[in-house]
Amino acid sequence: MATTPAQRRLAEALSELKSLQDGGRSVLRTEDLRRPSREALIDAGFLQPIIGGWYMCSRPGAKDGDTTAWVAHAREFVTCRPRSSGRRSKTPS
């Protein structure tokens, strides 16, 4: 079965996302993913925007208003660091 360019883009994007998740990341900044990957993941429902420039991993098919992903990732977002990392990725003011 032949794959479409969109399917290939999504497969590459999922591979990128898996690498970040394997490193303990579930909250991502814009620069963590290439633009085509980020757009493919958003379109497929694997990423949800939090605020400008920040995204969290999500489950495709989640209904609008479902807060499960936010509850799972809020702490990581608020502390601005991946769960597995002991250092901040953002300098405190």
**Up-side HSE of residue 38: CA atoms within 13 Å toward CB?**
15
pLDDT digits (tens, 9 = 90+) for 3-29: 899 999 999 999 999 999 999 888 889
CA triplet 31, 56, 24: central angle to 5 degrees?
80
Contact between 27 and 73 (Cβ < 8 Å): yes
Cα angle at 85 between 77 and 52, to 5 degrees?
25
Looking at every residue in the chain, the average pLDDT score rounds to 81
To the nearest 10 degrees (0 to 180), the angle between helices 5-22 and 35-44 is 100
User: Helices then strands (H, E): number in the chain?
Assistant: 3, 3
Residues 35-60 have a mean pLDDT of 91
User: Which residues are within 8 A (CB) of 19 and not within 5 positions of it... i.e. 6 or more apart?
Assistant: none
Q: Is the pTM of this model over 0.85?
A: no
